[in-house]
Amino acid sequence: MSSVDGMRRLAVIDLGSNTVKLISLDFRPGHGYRHLDQLREVVRLSQGLQAGGPLQPKAVERALATLATFRAYCDATGTERIVATATSAVRDAADGAAFVERGRDQAGIELRVLSGEEEAAYAVLAVANSFAISDAVVMDLGGGSVQLSEMRARRSVRGESWPLGAVRASEGFLKSDPPTKKQLRRLRDAVRDTVGPWLDVMADADGTRAEPGALPWIGMGGTLRNLADAWQQRSGHPLELLHGYPLPAGGLATLTDELARIDRAGRAEVPGVSADRADIIVAGAVVLDEIVRLAGTDAIMVSGQGLREGVFYPELFPDQPHHLTVDVRDFAVRNLMRLYHLDEAHPERVTRLALQLFDALADRLGHGPAERELLAAAARVHDVGMAIDYYGHHRHGEYLVLARPLPGFDAREQTLIAAMVRYHRKGRPSAGSRAQLLVDGDEKRLRDLTGLLRIAEQLDRSKAGRVDSVACRVGPDVVVLEASCSGDARLELQEAARRSELLAQALGRTIEVVAAATKA
Amino acid sequence: MSSVDGMRRLAVIDLGSNTVKLISLDFRPGHGYRHLDQLREVVRLSQGLQAGGPLQPKAVERALATLATFRAYCDATGTERIVATATSAVRDAADGAAFVERGRDQAGIELRVLSGEEEAAYAVLAVANSFAISDAVVMDLGGGSVQLSEMRARRSVRGESWPLGAVRASEGFLKSDPPTKKQLRRLRDAVRDTVGPWLDVMADADGTRAEPGALPWIGMGGTLRNLADAWQQRSGHPLELLHGYPLPAGGLATLTDELARIDRAGRAEVPGVSADRADIIVAGAVVLDEIVRLAGTDAIMVSGQGLREGVFYPELFPDQPHHLTVDVRDFAVRNLMRLYHLDEAHPERVTRLALQLFDALADRLGHGPAERELLAAAARVHDVGMAIDYYGHHRHGEYLVLARPLPGFDAREQTLIAAMVRYHRKGRPSAGSRAQLLVDGDEKRLRDLTGLLRIAEQLDRSKAGRVDSVACRVGPDVVVLEASCSGDARLELQEAARRSELLAQALGRTIEVVAAATKA
């Protein structure tokens, strides 16, 4: 699905203190994108680096060799553009400028050294474009440092970073394995002493006085992803998606305590913990846990996007103010629709007809704007399963809706959309093994919205746009759906009537589908 | 995934005695195809039709209206070509030619009336291009008739049809609901009297004397699909795919007996039985069951392809002798690869490298040509999951391999290929919930082949074709993989060594990966 007109191929390389990563993306500016590949190499560029001192020659060689390999990968894969950034290790080294020059000359990679503020701004940009949230605290815990940013109106207004990343905190504080209580206490003290004042300032900010825990918290980095994965597995969370998942503070505390009591080999066996992170995860968990305690937040939401995606957004949204998508949820739905090359005309017509039915019947059914948005999302993607096969496309569509994060929607909403897609043709709507994510009233929501979608889909059965609009007349026993048609819409009216049972049950009335007028 | 260069859009319309169906396909001649949509309308064109008499006016009107609707659908969906066929109802009616004319003038559909021989030949062509089998008996049980064809060397050599389709047998024999024993016996007698002699002749054919039950039996039509679906569900078959599924004769007999004892409402509740087939399924089941008994075959394999696909193959393979694909399995694998727009260069290189490793180590591992073919298939499609997302593409790939029939491969083989795809990067290979489909030795097969695939994939890690070939030196403790490289293949060698554990276990030796020579 990568050979669409106007698609561009971009690689983002991020040279951190511990690892170098490359993500490869195909995108069309303003339109959509997809991840193609990821490369990752542990180079430990900051190894032996003293504050204000030079990079160590061996570390430099490892980093340059990896950059050269990544460059070769880009050349081989038809990558048109490479955006490469370097952060604290290069920024803080005395010979950072010389390293950048060698990167250009020896590896063919033009590194851009980000300031701390830029790094924070890109992390916030990633969050602002992948969460339907305006204000939050954004936390990025990497190998070298932990960084906090205050996001207001989708932009970073204040940020700071401390050298308490998982690698550095582990080396600096947790010298035993498992660590002693004293070591753990000292690390917690260090977090409190350094990060605490930043949180206090936020809480006292002029005009927008806020307890830090009153804002949503959004976190990124491998430590948090591992912990969230572990907690998802332990708590039987039925969706294998991390982006947007709220790791409860209690779960974080439980995992942190447990991991701190066992040694590295034991930690590597904990489901969710990567073997190559088992050595440093305790330190990262303790730092996260202490910050969450200080902030008093109930949960920290995982962002699967970070600095690399933040660097990518100016390429994706070059013309948007501050490179912010206007509506995160709307973009997510359209991106999903476009990923699978759907002809957009049919889903857009089904969406319009479904919303016309919704608007006419919402009061009677007891639904509002939240349900309307879910219905529109499901209508736009109801046919994505066709990308796999016509036969079983309702099942395939459910799979595709759940296969990737749907930024801006939570797990419950994504589950409802997937279930509508699954049952958009027939059957009794159900969230299946994901029913535990639903709340009171969702079963009715699902039935009612699916009933509307099912009729709207049939009103464009021939995909010829024969039904321009639909109106509803609600009588005591019968609801008449009046379709304004262009041309012969017999197939549409007949099929819509055939699939009206679910809506008829919801309304407690029989349904008739008639042509309001024939223009042609 | 439909907007690829050179793709053509075709609709095949099939006007049968009972229903009119349309399938819409995108295809590139000689290259690949996909189903896009299906329309189906029950028009009962043969209603009230007497042998040698005219079509009934109401039936004609229904058929023409449906054809006009289908024509409009084709116009709206950018269908470039329509191939429309009519079978027994039009063929046998006194005024069939006049009907064809009205179809052209009033509905814009040019119907081609197939002879019985042509109908059989297309059914056989569908089978020959979707089963890796040369000789078989092909049975097509529709609403009006049941048709048997003897396929030899992939072509129809003898065929006959009897008016014992599900609708006609139901109307003619099973007048009660549920039917009486006497009614059932008379239907069985009619099958024996008419179909029996055809089977006897086949058994006595010159030179190729064969008991009919010694040939594979392959069946098509909705009755068989419903029964096979019902039996899959009852027996806990773990794949939701019908094409290629062998319905056991005992299962068919059990279902036939059960369905004959309950009434229509009860039958509609049987999982697998469509509500709109519940009225006629007993007659269809009895006819199938009696033929299977007469033939003495153990099972009848379901073909998901039929007349419509048979009519399509001359479009897909215009230049092949008799429109036969050279190798059903190879085409199926390549079609799957191409469906998801994979760049073919990387999977072809991985396939070549995997087979080089296989050929060097197969004797030692105890594998032969069957395993070699499975490995090649998995190597070609190992990255299809990328079409959904890079993240989790191993899981998505497993889903995509299992989401559609893989013509020519049975459920066990498809399961093994999917499991290799799932574990091509890491983890312990497993068929998961499909393990029941495996046979003795498959766990080792899966581990060994996945071990080879995993290394081959890493030998093209940068997707730059840096490793041209790989050779193996097997020592008492160490196996050295010597990669002939063009250019800097450090990433490849390092990653291949990292992922060699599975193969090392299989060989009971450690594995080293080295560059044999650097040409560049």
In this predicted structure, the answer to whether residue B49 has a pLDDT above a threshold of 80 is no
Residue A315 lies in a domain: no
Q: Do A35 and B341 touch (CB under 8 A)?
A: no
* Of A136, A130, A135, A142, nearest in space to A85 by CA: A142
Residue B466 and residue B378 share a domain:
yes
Q: Do A76 and B465 touch (CB under 8 A)?
A: yes
Residue A336 and residue A272 share a domain:
no
Residue A365 and residue A276 share a domain:
no
Report pLDDT for A359: 98
pLDDT, tens digit (0-9, with 9 covering 90-100), for A75-118: 888 899 999 999 988 998 999 999 999 999 999 999 999 998 89
Segments forming the whole domain that contains residue B13: 8-113
Mark which of A89, A113, A137 sits at the end of a domain: A113
Q: Do B240 and A403 touch (CB under 8 A)?
A: no
Which of the four pLDDT bands, split at 50, 70 and 90, describes residue A507? very high
Residue A195 and residue A91 share a domain:
no
Tokens at residue B374, please? 């499975």
Report pLDDT for A520: 45
SS3 A176: coil
Please provide the average confidence, as pLDDT, over all residues in chain B. Answer: 93
Q: Do A72 and B395 touch (CB under 8 A)?
A: no
DSSP code string of A50-72: PTT-PPPHHHHHHHHHHHHHHHH
Q: What share of chain A is helix, strand, coil (3-state, %, to 5)?
A: 50, 20, 30
B391 contact residues in A (CB cutoff 8 A): 35, 38, 304, 404
Which chain B residues have any C-beta within 8 angstroms of a chain A C-beta? Answer: 1-4, 34-39, 65, 68-69, 72-73, 75-77, 240, 304, 340-341, 343, 386-392, 395-396, 399-400, 403-404, 462-466, 487-488, 490-491
**Average pLDDT over every residue of A30-38:** 90
Report pLDDT for A190: 97
Preferred mutation among B62, B276, B344, B463 to probe A, highest tally of A CBs within 10 A = B463
pLDDT, tens digit (0-9, with 9 covering 90-100), for A301-329: 999 999 999 999 999 999 999 999 999 99
User: β-strand B155-162 against B146-152: which pairing, if any?
Assistant: antiparallel
What ipTM was assigned to the predicted interfaces of this complex?
Answer: 0.89
In this predicted structure, the answer to whether residue A2 has a pLDDT above a threshold of 60 is no
A464 contact residues in B (CB cutoff 8 A): 72-73, 75-77
Report pLDDT for A169: 93
Q: Which residue of A has its CA nearest to B387?
A: A1
Residue A387 and residue A280 share a domain:
no
Distance between CA atoms of B445 and B352, rounded to whole angstroms? 19
Residue A486 and residue A348 share a domain:
yes
Q: Which residue of B has its CA nearest to A386?
A: B36
pLDDT, tens digit (0-9, with 9 covering 90-100), for A400-424: 999 999 999 999 999 999 999 999 9
In this predicted structure, the answer to whether residue B207 has a pLDDT above a threshold of 60 is no
Distance between CA atoms of B340 and B408, rounded to whole angstroms? 20
* Of A190, A143, A147, nearest in space to A166 by CA: A143
* Of A375, A302, A275, A315, nearest in space to A32 by CA: A315
B490 contact residues in A (CB cutoff 8 A): 65, 69
**Average pLDDT over every residue of A296-304:** 96
Please provide the average confidence, as pLDDT, over all residues in chain A. Answer: 93
Candidate ranges B10-24, B267-281, B350-364; pick with highest mean pLDDT: B350-364
Q: The CATH number of the domain where B92 resides is what?
A: 3.30.420.40
Report pLDDT for A441: 97
Which of the four pLDDT bands, split at 50, 70 and 90, describes residue A464? confident
Which of the four pLDDT bands, split at 50, 70 and 90, describes residue A3? very low
Q: The CATH number of the domain where B188 resides is what?
A: 3.30.420.150
Q: Which residues contact A124 (CB under 8 A, 6 or more apart)?
A: A138, A149, A151, A154, A155, A156, A159, A310
Report pLDDT for A88: 83
Q: Which residue of B has its CA nearest to A487?
A: B72
Preferred mutation among B43, B276, B389 to probe A, highest tally of A CBs within 10 A = B389
Q: Do B72 and A462 touch (CB under 8 A)?
A: yes
Residue B461 lies in a domain: yes
Mark which of B78, B113, B148 sits at the end of a domain: B113
Cβ contacts of B354-359, under 8 Å, gap ≥ 24: B354/B379, B354/B452, B354/B453, B354/B455, B354/B456, B355/B379, B356/B469, B356/B470, B356/B471, B357/B452, B357/B455, B357/B456, B357/B470, B357/B472, B357/B481, B358/B449, B358/B452
In this predicted structure, the answer to whether residue A214 has a pLDDT above a threshold of 90 is no
Residue A319 lies in a domain: no
In this predicted structure, the answer to whether residue B520 has a pLDDT above a threshold of 50 is no
CA pseudo-torsion sign B378, B381, B383, B384: negative
Q: Do A72 and B464 touch (CB under 8 A)?
A: yes
- Nearest CA to CA, how far is A392 from chain B (Å)? 8
A463 contact residues in B (CB cutoff 8 A): 73, 76-77
- Nearest CA to CA, how far is A340 from chain B (Å)? 6
Report pLDDT for B205: 53
In this predicted structure, the answer to whether residue A223 has a pLDDT above a threshold of 60 is yes
**Average pLDDT over every residue of B324-353:** 92
Report pLDDT for A206: 58
How many domains is chain A built from?
A: 3
Residue B157 and residue B77 share a domain:
no
Tokens at residue A457, please? 């889909």
Q: Which residue of B has its CA nearest to A34?
A: B389
Report pLDDT for A204: 54
Which chain A residues have any C-beta within 8 angstroms of a chain B C-beta? Answer: 1-4, 34-38, 65, 68-69, 72-73, 75-77, 240, 304, 340-341, 343, 386-392, 395-396, 399-400, 403-404, 462-466, 487-488, 490-491
Residue B290 and residue B335 share a domain:
no
Which of the four pLDDT bands, split at 50, 70 and 90, describes residue A491? confident
Q: Do B1 and A341 touch (CB under 8 A)?
A: yes
Residue A275 and residue A199 share a domain:
yes
Classify the phi-psi angles of B286: left when phi > 0, otherwise alpha if psi is within -120 to 50, otherwise beta. Answer: alpha
Report pLDDT for B2: 37
